[in-house]
Structure 1
Amino acid sequence: MSTEHETGGAPTKFGVVLFEGFQSLDVFGPLDIFNFLSKTRPLQLSILAKELKPVSTSFPSAGFGQSVVPTHTFQDAPHHIEVLLVPGGGGTRDDENIAPAMEYVKRVFPNLRYLLTVCTGSALVAKTGVLDGRRATSNKNSFEWVKKQAPNVNWVSKARWVTDGNVWTSSGVSAGIDMTFAFVSAIYGESDAEWIAARSEYRRQTDPDDDPFAKDPEAGSS
């Protein structure tokens, strides 16, 4: 199968959804891969949140965390975003906290070329109905909770990541890195993925079904 980079149509405009209590590695693992990719391609990044004030990884505030300053609010986000990344984290457990992010994802999904979720970011997205009828996965430590949020999703219990059409969902936290490398390989080319992994000194998991954290795949729970 030819990759999009071979036809000159690979996406260049990325967006990241933030909310209070997002998991840091869910965001920065994938973004560091795209940072490397941007050294050879003209990528653009928009960091999106409810407000322009710094968004903390801590929710509710526990005094220890890191904050990221958004570039746009959900209301004034660029209309040309092609790839949207949605992280998980403790903040996904509070519906009021993630309501603005959910509304944004539901609104823009029809115009996206790709939607990527990490960890319980898939639960956030699933609550919008976007994943109904699709295959998806999520953090195995929270898998039973995730399934209850959206029973119309075909939740895959044993998967490092799952691809269904233009939607890519990964298991917990570090799994987002492997998913993103697979995304880069599929969309931009394996040579790009290999180059980035070598410079990151990262040993990739290339089998999406190799999930050591799925405790009971036959029963569909963990």
Structure 2
Amino acid sequence: MEPVATLTYADAMASGKQFDVLWVPAGAVDASTIPKEEIAFIAQQAPKAKYVMSVCGGAVQLAFAGRPCGKTSNDQQGVLSSNSGGNSQGYPVGTEGSMGRRWNVWTSSGVAAGSDMALAFVEHLAGREVARFIRGGIEIPEVTEQDDPFATFHGLV
């Protein structure tokens, strides 16, 4: 059975509904191809979400929405730098630590690294044993944010 959307971005914004977790998946990284409603939704939701998460190009969408996203996807840093005012380290200019509140922002590099981030998030919410059980069930090797076999490939080290 295919999942069915129950709200549009416009409906969610009009209702004032606030989500606890905002997950911005990989997607378009060119402002002209991202729906304006999507950017407006991210901009509205991110400040009050308990957790903001992005995978790959999702960090670019967060930047377009004016949200801090810390160090971003290794393969999207050039896009951030050229399209959204980011600097060479992939930090959106003027957002790092400047929003006046603590952020619980989770970002991952490429799409495959999103699995590691999601499992780290499960560990954060439900504990190490739950995350390890899930990891073992879907057979994803255990890694940490310090283990990036692609850092050299992307010129980060």
Please give the TM-score of this superposition, normalised by the length of structure 1. 0.56
Cα displacement string for residues 1-52 of structure 1 (whole angstroms, at most 9, x for unaligned residues):
xxxxxxxxxxxxxxxxxxxxxxxxxxxxxxxxxxxxxxxxxxxxxxxxxxxx
What are the ranges of 5 or more consecutive residues in structure 2 without an aligned counterpart?
92-101
Compared CA separation, residues 76 and 128, structure 1 to 2 (3 A): same
Residue pair 2:18, 2:45 contacting (<8 A) in 1 also:
no
Using the alignment, how far apart are the partners of 1:86 and 1:172 within structure 2?
13
Residue pair 1:113, 1:166 contacting (<8 A) in 2 also:
yes
Using the alignment, how far apart are the partners of 1:151 and 1:100 within structure 2?
21
Using the alignment, how far apart are the partners of 2:37 and 2:3 within structure 1?
17
Counterpart among 176, 180, 183 of residue 118 in structure 2: 180
Runs of 4+ more than 4 Å apart: none
- Give the number of aligned pairs: 140
SS in 2 for 1:100: helix
SS in 2 for 1:147: helix
Using the alignment, how far apart are the partners of 1:155 and 1:179 within structure 2?
18
Residue pair 1:139, 1:173 contacting (<8 A) in 2 also:
no
Using the alignment, how far apart are the partners of 2:103 and 2:48 within structure 1?
14
Counterpart among 25, 38, 42 of residue 87 in structure 1: 25
Higher RCO (C-alpha under 8 Å, 6+ residues apart): 1
1:196 positional shift: 0.9
SS in 2 for 1:81: coil
Q: Which residue of 1 aligns with 2:82?
A: 148
Compared CA separation, residues 189 and 129, structure 1 to 2 (3 A): same
Counterpart among 143, 149, 153 of residue 212 in structure 1: 149
Residue pair 1:137, 1:169 contacting (<8 A) in 2 also:
yes
Equivalent residues in 2 for 1:1-80 (5 A)? 69-77=4-12, 79-80=17-18
Cα displacement string for residues 128-157 of structure 1 (whole angstroms, at most 9, x for unaligned residues):
2111xx5221142x431233233346527x
More helix by share: 2
Using the alignment, how far apart are the partners of 2:18 and 2:25 within structure 1?
20
More strand by share: 1
Code of the residue aligned with 1:151 in structure 2: it is G
Using the alignment, how far apart are the partners of 1:210 and 1:98 within structure 2?
34
Counterpart among 107, 130, 142 of residue 169 in structure 1: 107
Code of the residue aligned with 1:149 in structure 2: it is N
Report the aligned-residue RMSD: 2.4
Percentage of matched positions with identical amino acids:
31
What are the ranges of 5 or more consecutive residues in structure 1 without an aligned counterpart?
1-66, 157-163
Q: Which residue of 1 aligns with 2:52?
A: 115
Please give the TM-score of this superposition, normalised by the length of structure 2. 0.76
Counterpart among 195, 198, 207 of residue 136 in structure 2: 198
